[in-house]
Amino acid sequence: MKPVLESNGYTEQFILGEGDLRFAVKDTLDIAGYRTQAGCPALATSPVARSHARVVSQLLANRCVVTGKTTLHELAFGVTGINPRCGTPVNPRFPALIPGGSSSGSAAVVASGEVDFSLGTDTGGSVRMPAACCGVMGLKPGYGVLSRQGVMPAESSLDCVGVFTRDAAVLRQVMTRLSVPVDTPLYDLPPMAFVLAAEPDIDACILSALLQAEVSPQEITLPLLEEAHRAGLTLISHENWQALGPLLASGAVSPDVASRIRAGADVSREALEQAEKVRVAFSEHLDAVLEQTPLLALATLPELPPTLQEAQDPLTVVNLTRLVRPFNLSGHPAITLPVGEIDGRPVALQLVARKGHDGLLVQAAEWLTARRRH
Q: Is 78 a member of any domain?
A: yes
Is 107 part of any domain?
yes
Alpha helix (H) residue ranges in the chain? 54-60, 104-111, 128-134, 168-177, 200-212, 225-244, 255-263, 269-292, 326-330, 358-370
Residue of 126, 156, 283, 330 marked active site: 126
**DSSP conformation class of 142:** P
Is 1 domain-assigned?
Answer: no
**Average pLDDT of the residues in 339-365:** 98
Integer Cα distance of 330 and 276 in angstroms? 10
pTM for this entry: 0.95
Total number of domains in the chain: 1
- Known catalytic residue at 126: yes
- Please write down the long-range contacts of 250-258, taking CB distance under 8 Å and 24 or more positions apart: 250/42, 252/40, 252/41, 252/42, 252/44, 253/40, 253/41, 253/42, 253/74, 253/75, 254/74, 254/84, 254/85, 256/78, 256/314, 257/40, 257/74, 257/75, 257/77, 257/78
Q: Which range marks the domain in which residue 160 is found?
A: 6-370
Catalytic residue among 69, 102, 106, 237: 102
* 8-state DSSP, 75: G
Among 160, 172, 217, smallest CA distance to 361 is for 172
Q: Give the model confidence (pLDDT) of 8-20 as tens digits.
A: 223 344 567 778 9
- For the domain that residue 167 is a member of, what is the CATH number? 3.90.1300.10
Q: What is the pLDDT of residues 262-296, one digit of tens each?
A: 999 999 999 999 999 999 999 999 999 999 999 99
Q: Where are the alpha helices (DSSP H) in 20-72?
A: 54-60
pLDDT in tens, 109-130: 999 999 999 999 999 999 999 9
Average pLDDT over the chain, rounded to an integer: 94
- Residue 71 is assigned to a structural domain of this protein: yes
Helices 255-263 and 225-244, axial angle in degrees (round to 10):
110
Specify if 353 maps to a domain.
Answer: yes
